Amino acid sequence: MTRVITVGAAQLGPIQKADSRENVVARLVALLQQAHRNDCDLVVFPELALTTFFPRWFVENISDADHWYETSMPSPVTQPLFDEAKKLGIGFCLGYAELTADGHRFNTQVLVEKDGSIVGRYRKVHIPGHEHNEPDRPFQHAERYYFEPSMEGFGVWNAFSARMGMMICNDRRWPESYRVMGLQGVEMILCGYNTPIHYVPDPSQDSLAGFHNALVMQSGAYQNGTWVVGVAKGGIEEGVDSLGQSMIVAPSGQIVAQALTTDDELIFARCDLDWCDRYTKTLFDFDRYRRPEVYGRITSQRGVVEE
Ligand code: ING
């Protein structure tokens, strides 16, 4: 019997600062319904899918930013999304800013099954950008001020009759993210992102933003024999142009669907999970071919050590 998940990548166009959460949730519901009409089992939304990318502004007192975070999930404003998904019998993955009861702040994604239950929660591991105000930049990327890194790492959950994993935006640039999930038998990785095309520390990378986005997800998929679903919030948000190019990547590393716009746009693909075995049981048969005994530096050391 073949195992197939029809997955939708629900790319979002920009969310401006003045847009209400209610308005955004209505956009998410419309994409969810479109995914349902196209027989999707699961629809994936971007990173921080409920608000504008607020780390682009610095506030002196972090509690002045509390209104960007959710203190529960479902929250009152996201309940209509949970209700509609459960009614339609479709799962979803949603990125949002999480403020815990004991005051911790995470960049978070939840995976919701077709029955409306939350089956997995992932908190971003690799937090990019800077921790202090850098007023000389054209825009801030102060994620390291607004979010602490997860200590939970990368989980893999049994859901949708598959081994499902999650990662968020910058995580996709790091091979360890995929490998830690690969070693747990992951078959599909869900990843939301917000990627400004202008890379302030090195503008020579601007013209390569789309190339690098595809490069990392295609290699991660191939090297771990897994499907990867990358979903953007794209377009010009508060003056900052962000990459679209949401894509669904097969375990072969091939792109099977890609967004054409930088706006709200659903793409979808039928993903045969048994394709994973073609890679994980052959040239990436980890148990047969990996050499962890010579990979010690991967976990014992962070930066470069010479000699
Ligand atoms: N964004 C970025 C990404 O990896 C980043 C990281 C930081 C881009 C600073 C540009 C400037 O695509 C997120 N949201 O992790």
> Which atom of ligand 1 lies at the shortest distance from residue 201's CA?
11
The pLDDT tens digits for 12-30 are: 999 999 999 999 999 999 9
**How many whole angstroms separate alpha carbon 82 and alpha carbon 293?**
45
Which residues contact ligand 1 via a Cβ below 6 A? 47, 128-129, 141, 169-170, 173, 193-196, 199
Q: Which residues of 218-230 are buried (b: 16+ CB within 10 A; e: fewer)?
A: bebbbbbbbbbbb
- Is beta strand 255-258 parallel, antiparallel or unpaired with respect to 265-272? unpaired
Taking residues 111-138, what's their average pLDDT? 97
Question: Do 236 and 14 form a contact (C-beta atoms < 8 A)?
Answer: yes
Indicate the angle between helix axes 209-224 and 175-182, nearest 10 degrees: 20
Whether the pLDDT of residue 181 is over 90: the answer is yes
**How many whole angstroms separate alpha carbon 151 and alpha carbon 134?**
27
Could you tell me where the DSSP H helices lie in the chain?
A: 21-37, 79-88, 143-146, 175-182, 209-224, 275-280, 286-289, 297-300
**Distance (Å) from CA 37 to ligand 1 centroid:** 33
Q: What is the residue with the minimal CA distance to atom 4 of ligand 1?
A: 170
Taking residues 106-132, what's their average pLDDT? 98
**How many whole angstroms separate alpha carbon 27 and alpha carbon 81?**
10
Residue ranges per structural domain of the chain: 4-300
Q: Regarding the domain with residue range 4-300, which homologous superfamily does it belong to in the CATH classification?
A: Carbon-nitrogen hydrolase (3.60.110.10)
pLDDT score for 2? 75
How is residue 52 annotated by DSSP?
-
> Which atom of ligand 1 lies at the shortest distance from residue 126's CA?
15
Question: Do 160 and 5 form a contact (C-beta atoms < 8 A)?
Answer: yes
Q: Is residue 98 classed as helix, strand or coil in its secondary structure?
A: strand
The pLDDT tens digits for 238-251 are: 999 999 999 999 99
The pLDDT tens digits for 197-206 are: 999 999 999 9
